[in-house]
Structure formats: structure tokens, C-alpha cells
Amino acid sequence: MNHFLKDKTVLITGASNGLGAELARQVAAQGAHTILTARSTEKLASLTTQIQADFGVISTYHKMDMTNFAEIEEVAGKLANTNIDVLVNCAGFGIFEEAVTTDFGTVERMFDTNVLGLMRLTQLVLPKMLAREAGHIINIASQAGKIATPKSSAYSATKFAVLGYSNALRMEVKTSNIHVTTVNPGPIATNFFDIADASGDYLKNVGFLVLKPEDVAAKTVAIMGKNKREINLPFAMNIISRLYQVMPRVIEFFGKSAFGKK
């Protein structure tokens, strides 16, 4: 039980399904009020109704496409008088394809969604947190931001960017009692892979490394309000990513077969 969340307000992007939706349910179960955003208003409406009925908290939603900066600014304007205690930047997508053949329009949408939209929303939410000297920003990154692998050049680049942004931001807001946490999961069994891996083979190939969204959400919710730098999942991938920092050539050599499972 995370008592910090009682009567707090949590804003979650990409909340219409997958990890975002699970995070919404779990913070509501802890007594937090939720503000949910995504592109699909139909799914958001259903989820907010469910949350209010099941947990008796206030739950609202806004249509927000993370590639549409005007829309992000519009939603932020509507929330100008709301004290957001926790911002969870969860929206994101990826495509597993070789760098040479990846459509550049797709690369741009990936950066807009995973990086630039995240940065713009954070920039708009942050001033009130700074004024109150309280808040927690949680950015859902990826183990792909620790180790780049074949067929994930653009996606890995976006997640490396999220980690770099988060690391700098953490130092900037440290004296204002605002926490910045990155959550770096490996593959999660969600509909993310419906887009990322059209073949459907990747999750089968990585087997025991696949995470359940319920477990990732639980670990994320548990650290809300706490000064936690990172959550790295699963344990095996975290160990490999740490080793990669000190001996990248060795890990790339021995990890060739594992890296090529996409």
C-alpha cells in the first residue's frame, strides 16, 4: 500500500490500454484521483467510468495526441488550476525494422510521441510543481534506452533521449523537492507489439524475459512519491545492461543471437 497516493492527483498519458491503463487502475485502487489522456476517447471514457465505479475516486479524461503539440498545450491549459502530484509519461510506440528501410515519417512520429511530446507536456506541468516545491515525474523509458539492438535504431534512439532528458531534469529540480524517475522495462506483454512486431514472433522468442503489465505497474505505483532514480526490469536484462556500460564489445559479441530475436 502506497499511502502517499491517497487523495493525490495522477496524470497518465497513453492511458487507454496496456501499461497506462493498468497504472490508472492501480493508482485509483490506492485512493488517487486520475487524469487520463490518449488518442482514443472511447476507451478513456470506459476506463474512467470503471475507475469511478470500482474505487470511488475522481477520474477524468482528455483526448491528447502526443504528436499534436497544440493539443498538448490545450489540455495543459485546461489543467492550469489543477495540482498534479504525479505525472506519468507513458505514451509511446515503436517499430522494429532495419534503419535503412524504416519510413522516415514513422521515425518522426516516434520522436514526436516518445520524446518531444513528453518533453512539452513536462515543460507545461512543471511550473506548478516548482511553485509548490512538490511533485513526481515518472517517464516510462525502456531497456532499449540502455542497450540498442538491431531493428530498433529509431525506437532505441527515442528511449536514449528520454533517459538523457530525465537525468538532466532530475538534477535541475532536485532542490525543489521534485522527484524524477525513469522506468526501464524490457518487453511487456501488451498491444505495443501489435505495431512494433507485425510478425508476432518477438514475444515468443524472448520467452522468460517478457513482463506482465500488472507487475510493471505495481512496481511503478509503489515508488510514487519516493526519491527513486530508476526502475529496471527484468532483473536479467538489468544485469546485462550494467555490464554493457563497461564492456560493450564483449556483450555485443556474446549477445548476438539474443539481440537478433526481432
Enzyme catalytic residues: 155
Q: What are the Cα distances from residue 226, in Å, to 9, 180, 181, 230?
A: 15, 9, 9, 11
The helix/strand/coil state of 186 is: coil
Q: What is the 3-state secondary structure (H, E, C) of 77-107?
A: HHCCCCCCCEEEECCCCCCCCCCCCCCHHHH
- The x, y and z cell numbers of residue 147, run together, are 542497450
Report how far residue 135's alpha carbon sits from residue 125's, in angstroms, rounded to the nearest whole number.
10
Any alpha helices (H) in the chain, and if so which ranges? 18-29, 41-55, 69-78, 104-111, 117-132, 153-173, 192-196, 202-206, 213-222, 235-246, 248-254, 256-259
Degrees, nearest 5: CA angle 53-59-61: 125
